[in-house]
Structure 1
Amino acid sequence: MPPSQGTAHPLRLLGVYAALVALMFGLIFFVGKSHTPKLGIDLQGGTRVTLTPRTPDGGKPSQDSLKQAQSIIEQRVNGLGVAGSEVVIEGDNLVITVPGSDGAQAKTLATTAKLYVRPVLQDIPAPGGKLPAQQPGAAPGAPGAPNAPAPSVPGATDTAVPPSTPPTTDAPAPSEAPAPSEAPAPNPAPQNRVFPAQAPTTPVPPATPGGNPANPGGLSPQQQTQKEITDAKALRQSTDQATQLAAMQTLDCSKPDPLQGNDDPNLPLVTCSTDGTQIYLLDKSKLDGTEIKDATATLDTRGGGWVVNLEFKGGGSDTWGNLTNTYLNKQLAFALDSRVVSAPQVQSGNQFGGSTQISGNFSGSAAKDLANSLKYGSLPLSFTTSEAETVSATLGMSSLHAGLIAGAIGLIAVLLYCLLYYRMLGFLAGFSLVAAGVAVYALIVLLGRWIGFTLDLAGIAGLIIGIGMTADSFVVFFERIKDEMREGRSFRSAVPRGWARAQRTNLSGKTVSLIASAVLYLLAAGQVKGFAFTLGLTTVLDVIVLYLVTSPLMMLASHSPFWAKPSVNGLGAVAEIARERKAAAGVLVKEA
């Protein structure tokens, strides 16, 4: 076989590997801002947020409820790809710790995510258009956060009523006559009209939607929470028209809401929009979030920015279709955790409507947060969140440097052994190790962007062990070449034959290692998962490097007169053994 034909295939394989590495580093440096791996809590520190449950009766939550909430929040963490996070139960509280310094993400994970679709009976501008001072569970730019306009549900059946437009039904001045609303009211009480601005005839409790009123009776925190929820329900979920009007006139949207996740869906509700600019009187719920089958965040193909697509279950699909027919040309509000996320006007009925779309001025992260919360269900408890606390690195960068130095020393020792034992073939092994290390680094950076993978010390240990195990592939390959040369073959013919025998052994070993990594990842928890993930990743890369780098390099070397010299490849002793065997075999033949 001419040299040109023998070297064409190896060169193509090396070119494929070089192109893959160039593509990965092109994505790193020309797409996105981060050029380094994401580090875990033990290396860079993190942010801790404590979630304190708020039960309607003010009592302690059950451990079953806490465990269910912990499980749902962990699912949301996985849905967002926030690797390296911790969700633990401490007493009666849940503690979320996420890598980095952004506590808003941890607060978003704690959103109760109780969604109800309620018809709008009346809406008025909030006094001063105040933004909420504290919205537990909301992240900047997310629905409910400052500067996040109330989104809408355009879909195929409805369009948005922009927050800046005048309300659909304004509260009239005292001299005006009341104007009836067109929204049908299933309740016997006449709640479907705009009420005149007159003083209520019966005394109502002061509007304290989220404040901390004086506590002259020395109530316990649980009793105080229960009192706040009870007072808010009495005012804002009353069926009395005068009380509803008083609630709308006195509601302060700038304060935290004690009804967050605790409103009764079977009663009317007076509440604010998530941006605090509008106050709504809503009818009882017609559809709730338990009927949601799936929720995804996507870019609107019509150029409207990020949207959240909702897909309802079978029963929910029928209910949604009936709602769009019943409330044609009227508003339906999506109330998430007792606040209105969107209040679109239905423009066309759809009796087959099984899905809809929540849209607005969402950022990509805000849309994904909302979709993630709705997709994995509502929490069984509502929570108040503490201020984000910075958690210092438990091990620190010094430990990272020590681990990297230890790994570098181990790899250098392996290379020195290869150079001493295999001579110049050790350089080929070293080049393959470098090629594997470069690809691993690029993949870790990209996985940090794409799935939120964070690198901790356990993951670094998996990388070092995985790359070190790559040396096993070289040893098996080189020893198979030696076996072929002991049988009297030349270096040129021994390399392809040795490769055919070595790849079966290597593939068997790597398969066992990959299965072990997968089982460990599925059964382990915490940082052990990071170790199993990186070990499995380097095992797969080892096979790729073996086929695209190591084998082509050896094939090229086998066609080179320079590498065929025993003083270069270190195989002179093996060739001498083969000659001695041939000579001994010749003597035996002559004697016979």
Structure 2
Amino acid sequence: MASPTRRRHPARILLTLAVITVAVFGAIFAGTKLSDATWTPKLALDLEGGTQLILAPVAQDESRVTSETISQAIEVIRQRVDSSGVAEAEISSQGGSNIVVALPGRPSEETLDLVRTSAQMEFRPVLTYAAPQPTAAASASPTDGATEPSAEPTKDAPDSASDAEYYLTPAVQAQFDALDCTDPANLTGGQETADDAALVTCDPEGTLKYVLGPVEVEGSRISNASSGLQVSQSGAVTNTWAVNLEFDNAGTREFADVTGRLQGLASPQNQFAIVLDGLVISAPSLDPGVIISDGKAEITGSFTRDSATALANQLKFGALPLSFQVQSEEQISATLGSEQLEKGLIAGLIGLVLVVVYSLFQYRALGLVTVASLMIAAVLTYGVITLLSWTQGYRLSLPGVAGLIVAIGITADSFIVYFERIRDELREGRTLVAAVDRAWERARRTIIASDAVNFIAAIVLYFLAVGSVRGFAFTLGLTTLLDLLIVFTFTHPVMRLIARTRFFGSGHPLSGLDPRRLGAPESTRYVGRGRVVTGRRAEPAAPAGAEPADLDVRTSTLVATPAGAGGTIAERRAAARAAQAGTPVDADADDGPDDRPDDGSTPAARRTEGSES
């Protein structure tokens, strides 16, 4: 015989919920002291306002500015913003070409840079480099009698992208000599150069200037990017921050070809430049024999933790199909404001009050369990949203408030399913303690199935929708999970506790669990192990041989079984002997004679347990 399942005491389950609640608010309290956390969640653009940027595409070929490239750019920008932890941003197209980015609140400078920077990434070979200042050769100009430098190469065809004799034309050399990388105006990046032409540019710090060959690997070949501390060849972790890149299959082959060619050249042509938005962010050299054939590269330099993370986020989602220039940047006010938020909260409060009134009317004192459960759910939901607002950048929008209002009905529905199951069990004659356990076994499956459907709907809506609609889906999914937590760790344990009290256990008329009001059969109740307690009115007289009139008692009757079936072995043996001898049977005897009168039922089918009020 299998041992019964051991159940945890209700008080321990309630203690678990208390620990979770304290942990949530304890984390917020620590954040207010040690970080920038607040006791209120951050609000989204429609409730607080924020910063709006308008980006205009910059392209030499206007045919590249199409609805498809704009849509692709919007998706990349949205991924960058989401990766920075900013929620509820609004990104849309304006006039079919410009892109409008609205960020809630006061976004950090790093987040704004993710929007401003085009992050066009290219891998070009280094032809030559020099100090950042203009050289003496740049002092001559055509107005001084000098001839215009020739832009034509000195040979018919290049041997490779590292062929300096072909790409370093007199015009390119003159541009290189005249470039002043100490001038901040030359460090803004964003310049466009043909992929098959040489590029004259600086590094972001203005310490060097370069002449680079054509593009050999495009930034779109990057499949993943991450930041972290650099690991040395011996496996030791250093204090230098680095950005790790992984290429797709085509990029792996192209990068292996480049490193295979460059590692055999003399300096500086054994270097390849990583160009981000027109500036050289790194130009590592390759030692002889070094060929990166696995498609994994590491960018090192003067990175900090924040700058390495920002660069990895920019590169992780690929390069923008176009370069963009910030046309305007301004602060905007809330589109809905506190008035709409106030109306939304009032609507939620009205719904909550109606649920409470209905619960008290329908379930009387039992409705107080619903009220307490809703209060615990509200407190925990507020704490979790506030915690996510601090740790994950979540912002509460008006659609999010709507999701919280809908959650009131979802939570109340779980309680109704459970309470009605308890009432059904009471109608069948069970005691409240037995009814609570029996009803929970049945209601639990229904509650889980219902919340699972709601949660799946929230997930689908979250991933298919954009903008503020995702806020509704997020709060809907969050409150659905919290509903399960509250029902399992608060509502059911509380019901197990109050079922043992006299007020609820005796079926007080105000408890909401009165069997007579629920339509249960009068003076009938279930006492476990297949037995129900029934009562019969006393008969005024009885003929000889019938049951005595003083049996005005409640008798416990087992479910009827065929004669000779059921009961213990001793009872069946006693019944057999009694049938042969024609003597009464004592069903409680071990295997001996029975001196009680036989009432005609099977020995295992009925026994008298004495008077019971």
Shift of 1:541: 1.5
Distance 1:444 1:451 in 2: 10
Task: Please say if 1:325 is aligned against 2:254.
Answer: no
In structure 2, the residue matched to 1:244 is 173
Distance in 2 (alpha carbons) for counterparts of 1:25 and 1:361: 39
CA offset at residue 410 of structure 1? Answer: 2.1
2:13 is aligned with 1:13: yes
Residues 574, 6 of structure 1: alpha-carbon distance in 2 compared, 3 angstrom cutoff? farther
Residue 34 (structure 1) aligned to one of 33, 37, 45? 37
Structure number with the bigger relative contact order (C-alpha 8 A, sep ≥ 6) is 1
CA separation of 1:239/1:409 partners in 2, compared to 1, >3 Å: closer, same or farther? same
What aligned pairs does 1:505-584 form with structure 2 within 5 A after superposition?
Answer: 505-567=446-508, 569-572=511-514, 574=516, 577-578=519-520, 580=522, 582=524
1:108 to 111, 114, 118: 114
Work out whether 1:405 is the aligned partner of 2:350. Answer: no
- Tell whether the 8 Å contact from 2:172 to 2:198 is kept in structure 1 after alignment: no
Structure 1 CA distance for aligned equivalents of residues 461 and 213 of structure 2: 52
C-alpha distance in 2 between matches for 1:198 and 1:387: 37
Match status 1:470 vs 2:431: no
Distance 1:575-1:120 versus aligned 2 partners, 3 A rule: same
Q: Give the gaps of 5 or more residues in structure 2.
A: 151-165, 232-236, 526-532, 547-613
Query: What CA distance in whole angstroms lies between the structure 2 residues aligned with 1:40 and 1:342?
Result: 38
Preserved contact between residue 121 and residue 218 of structure 2 (Cα < 8 Å)? yes
The aligned residue for residue 304 of structure 1 is: 239
CA-atom RMSD, angstroms?
3.5
Q: Which amino acid aligns with 2:14?
A: L
Which residue among 43, 67, 71 is the counterpart of 1:67? 71
Q: How does 1:267-346 map to 2 (within 5 A)?
A: 267-300=197-230, 302-304=237-239, 306-313=241-248, 314-319=252-257, 321-322=259-260, 325-326=263-264, 330=268, 331-346=271-286
CA contact (8 A) 1:321 1:354 kept: no
Post-superposition shift, 1:340? 1.2
Tell me if 1:389 matches 2:356: no
Asked if the contact 1:199–1:246 (Cα under 8 Å) also holds between the matched residues in 2, the reply is no
Alpha-carbon separation, structure 1, partners of 2:294 and 2:417: 62
Alignment equivalent of 1:94, drawn from 88, 95, 99 = 99
**1:130 counterpart residue number:** none
**What's the TM-score once normalised by structure 2's chain length?**
0.71
Cα drift, residue 284 of structure 1: 3.3
Q: Deviations over 1:194-234 (max 9, x none)?
A: xx7774753469xxxxxxxxxxxxxxxxxxxxxxxxxxxxx
**Secondary structure in 1 matching 2:256:** helix
Determine helix, strand or coil for the equivalent of 1:578.
coil
Q: Could you report, residue by residue, the CA deviation over 1:535-573 in whole angstroms, capped at 9, with x for unpaired residues?
A: 122112211211111111111222334543544633236
User: 8 Å contact 2:187–2:202 — kept in the other structure?
Assistant: no
Instruction: Choose which of 86, 89, 105 in structure 2 pairs with 1:85.
Output: 89
Q: CA deviation at 1:119?
A: 3.4
Structure 1 distance, partners of 2:396, 2:177, is 50
What's the secondary structure of 2:319's corresponding residue? Answer: coil
**Is this contact kept in 1: 2:426–2:515, CA < 8 A?**
no
Q: Which residue of 1 aligns with 2:47?
A: 43
Q: Quote how far apart the aligned CAs of 1:309 are.
A: 1.0
CA distance in 1 between counterparts of 2:306 and 2:245 reads: 17
Alpha-carbon distance in structure 2 between the residues aligned to 1:7 and 1:410: 36
Percent identity between the two aligned chains: 38
The match for 1:220 is none
Matches within 5 A, 1:84-233: 84-91=88-95, 92-102=97-107, 104=109, 105-127=111-133, 199=140, 201-203=146-148
Q: 2:536, 2:224 → 1: CA distance?
A: 81
8 Å Cα contact 1:296-1:368 kept in structure 2: yes
State the Cα deviation string for residues 87-128 of structure 1 (Å, max 9, x = none). Answer: 21111211111112237424523532222223334434435x
Query: Cα gap change, 1:571/1:243 in structure 2, threshold over 3 Å: closer, same or farther?
Result: closer
Would the alpha carbon gap of residues 80 and 497 (structure 1) be closer, same or farther in structure 2, given more than 3 Å must change?
A: same
Pair 348,580 (structure 1): closer, same or farther in 2 beyond 3 Å = farther
Structure 1 residues 43 and 363, CA gap change in structure 2 (3 angstroms) = farther
**1:366-445 matched pairs, under 5 angstroms:** 366-445=307-386
Give the AA of the match of 2:76: I
C-alpha change, 1:374 and 1:484, in structure 2 (3 Å) is same
C-alpha spacing 1:522/1:283, structure 2 compared with 1 (3 Å): closer
Deviations 1:416-467 (A, max 9, x none): 3323433332232222222222222232233334543322000111012113
Amino acid at match of 1:82: V
Change (3 A) 1:349 1:544: farther
> 1:246, 1:552 → 2: CA distance?
79
Provide the TM-score with structure 1 as the length reference. Answer: 0.74
Post-superposition offset of 1:304: 2.8
Q: Distance in 2 between matches of 1:8 and 1:50?
A: 59
- Which segment drifts farther, 6-15 or 476-485? 6-15
Distance 1:258 1:421, change over 3 A: closer
Counterpart in the other structure of 2:603:
none
Residues 449/306 of structure 1: CA separation in 2 closer, same or farther (3 Å cut): farther
1:37-73 CA-to-partner distances (Å, cap 9, x unmatched) read: 2321101112111111111146782333222322332
Equivalent residue of 1:390, what SS? strand
CA 1:588 to 1:402, structure 2 compared with 1: closer, same or farther past 3 Å?
same
CA separation of 1:542 and 1:470: change in aligned 2, threshold 3 A: same
